[in-house]
Chains A and B, each alone.
Chain A
């Protein structure tokens, strides 16, 4: 037999070809100084775009940090670590700037605009590990870190998409998929009388999607600036003790606390720090069958606030529940809770909530113990007394867990930055798609741009595979000669 010698392909080196990644290296939310790390072959180039010329490794440069458009948004120390003498073994630049979430987010976004990708949770450690920068003891922890961090990230990626925002993003994704069904069907099945590429219909759709996307981006950006952190809404029936809960959080009497139901008519907002992480708490009017018009208006606002919040604390007066030592069991408690929550969120499962059973100090001690036992291991229901502070630490750590504060894993805040990065990228590709449509370029280019829009949005909602898309085409059109 003949023997042909096989051409050998050059072996690419791992570190050169990987994307340059960026993320906050300090746990987010901590006040004071935060560190943003950039790692990869283009780290230095990108850093110079943000902070001006940097040449000497391991030298502290004090610099103004600028956005891509040249706006100064912070001042800080910039350190360059040349490969392989860095944390990851790649070229690394660390920015030490002010710790505010907006500053950090702006810095990350600027780096992304200049070509970096947002790091996956644990990705710095993963690279360090793969580049032999960690010893055996550290190695053991890496796998655990990746597993737990990404699980948390997946949770908060979805979790931060609450209420209105989540609906808007999902509606956007649906519009993009619908458009792509037509475009891809007209490409793969040109003889099926579904040639939409040339129709004004496509431009109209793209324009509509663009408007949707810009609206969401505006909301997302605004929401981030207004709240600058995690928002919690206090809801519950009148006089369940919501205002006392607010006061317990803020440590001052900001809401009027009286025993007359319906005292809080408007939404009262309070900014505070939970372990250094900014949180906005909104106290709402009590939910009940309101008779007077002002109160009805107040309740409508409560509902709106609750839907917009990242987390709802449903405050329930525990003494009002039908609990006797005789019928105290899990199912009865649950029935009670469902009954107590009826009315506000039945139609919206996307609202994240914790149930707070308030006024435990008014229960007999035996009942307190029995209830505590019943709730052991339940991370969504808490027994507290806002007045005395009983059970408060437990609730606070429950909230922190939902927020991801002080955890090594990805926080809700960085999940949100991730969303804005993804939306911005989607918007760029959409603009490109529109441009190529208007310029009369071949339809396949617009199709490619729309695919990139979908991939960018997939970072938020999960990717749509080509097989998924084909499935939708087959169920939408009668394909096949």
Chain B
């Protein structure tokens, strides 16, 4: 018996869930194959969604009809807005979630999605015909056929778990690694690397003395992550806590370094610099006398805590000792030891912007397999791979947002153009058009595309359109409405009274003025807060936004010019060998991407343009910037 699907997704984590849901929503018959149905939507690392750069991705996934933001709202037990005063573009939302609630929400969404079927079994092999993947083979030799296959296998490929000098095969504590598939993929022409990540020991809250910890309550009113969540979507809210390591902690760690797999050369994989283990922090920043630890509750119905900031692979006895040297943790009981995990990833330069591999047609990679870290980065790739797997199966052109359109575009373009040597995480400083890629306008940037693909319901799109109309109408009113000198109510919100008449659109540009106050003073009705927020930002940031928009449209014309994938770079005269090699490795899809490859100069790009023109291969295409 052999069943055929449009799309098969291997893996049910954050990338796999978004991929499978997106494919099925677009109308594709979809199969999600997972090792264990109980771990669908599992948060393997800390129980939080969002944060700087990351909530930007979550909002984009949300605007594309993805599940992550709604799950975070339904499972969020502590919300904070970060960078509140630094401006709307770098403002971010972070939710601490109840792991169980999160998982339940994802699983329910998957199980109730029409056209999506779930199957529990390990995938051991791919079915390859020529240069095309046409299906998968499971552990019990069951074959499933499909037009496209998406691998979202996380840290499971050749996963090795380290605690002290002990090591064992595993994809996550308690789950086995996918070694057969890893071996099989190593036989295919992909470039493989090793990365490393880790988690801290989990602790029983009943053994912690909270009286010495600094509580950190969530924000009030509780922010929402999703554009679509209704008010009152959140469960009960609880505080987090803060404590610090001590000199004694650092001494204990130093004494244990000889049994650290990181410092005894056992681990080859490269860990993230922005999320170092506690032993790494103590070695690299020896003069720091204390490191902050953020105590996150694991959920409403469990005593487990996640002490964020002391990820470690030191031996268990050292973990106990170091933990107990931390204020509040003097008699702490560890429920799960911390560990480091090494796993395979594939060189993302070998991917197209659709996340399809260049070596095998119909095969897509998303998530940690591409060298990224983080649920949000995984989810973003998952939804993109899901969309493109369907487009590919239908024979439609691929889609990927430009760098100027979405953080998803920045993420994918960075990966496929520059590759990565450490687990890749999103930061706002990676986005050159940061001021226009805000979490508040992700819907404006992506809902129209999502609608075309069939990812949004009628109700969702209607709500979106209504919001846009309200924004346009408020903007229009503000551009026409005049306020006259001597208007005391309006003068009261200004630092200097008016000496002549002004439009509201002019007054709002004064730094001291905020829109709700101005509208109230001018006796105008207040629309809903999301509408006010958009209009306020658009007016106040107009100069900056106009500049970036102009730059984008100027670059688009030239950078969108497509380059054939099979271009022979050795035939281009004038290029240095180094540049030739770099271009041949990445095989950029357009002139813009070529120019972003490190070491490719503007002159090299000119030569490429001239060459393409000479060959008559220059075709215009509005694409990734």
- Chain A: residues with CB nearer than 8 A to chain B? 1-7, 9-14, 16-19, 120-123, 126, 129-130, 139, 142-144, 146-147, 149-151, 154, 184, 186-193, 197, 439-445, 447-448, 465-467, 469-471, 474, 478-481
Contacts and interface: CB of A to CB of B under 8 A. Distances in A.
Interface stretch (B220-228, B449-457, B479-487, B516-524): B449-457
Given A189-B52, A444-B434, A474 B602 contact: no
A191 B448 contact: no
A109 to B, nearest CB: 20
24 contacts: A1-B28, A4-B453, A6-B397, A6-B399, A7-B448, A12-B557, A13-B557, A16-B557, A17-B554, A120-B606, A143-B607, A143-B611, A147-B574, A151-B603, A187-B428, A188-B429, A192-B292, A440-B511, A444-B88, A445-B541, A445-B544, A467-B430, A479-B274, A479-B275
Nearest to A193: B292
Contacts of A443: 85-87, 90
Nearest to B557: A17
A190 B83 contact: yes
B358 interface: no
A481 B557 contact: no
A480 B428 contact: no
B611 A12 contact: no
Contact of A188 (B27, B85, B427, B573): B427
A14 B309 CA distance: 51
Contacts of B272: 480
Contacts of A19: 554
Given A1-B6, A6-B397, A440-B511, A481 B27 contact: no
B500 interface: no
A481 B607 CA distance: 46
B582 interface: no
Given A187-B52, A190-B52, A444-B89, A17 B553 contact: yes
A1 B27 contact: yes
Contacts, number: 183
B532 to A, nearest CB: 16
Nearest to B397: A6
A439 B87 CA distance: 14
B394 A14 contact: no
Contact of A7 (B82, B390, B452): B452
A14 B26 CA distance: 34
B276 A5 contact: no
Contacts of B494: none
Main secondary structure of the interface of B (DSSP, over half): loop
B603 A147 contact: yes
A184 B454 CA distance: 38
Given A17-B554, A126-B606, 7 more contacts: A130-B609, A187-B428, A188-B52, A188-B90, A190-B82, A445-B541, A470-B427
Contacts of A121: 603
Contact of B554 (A18, A129, A186): A18
Contacts of A14: 557-558, 620
A187 to B, nearest CB: 5
A455 B243 CA distance: 40
A444 B556 contact: no
Contacts of B556: 12, 17
Contacts of B288: 478
Contact of A187 (B90, B273, B393, B511): B90
- 4 closest A-B pairs by CB: A442-B87, A2-B27, A150-B603, A444-B87
A42 to B, nearest CB: 11
B418 A3 contact: no
Nearest to B80: A191
A129 B511 CA distance: 48
A126 B291 CA distance: 56
A481 B558 CA distance: 42
Contacts of A197: 86
A143 B573 contact: yes
Nearest to A440: B511
B56 to A, nearest CB: 12
Contact of B87 (A123, A445, A465): A445
A11 B620 CA distance: 7
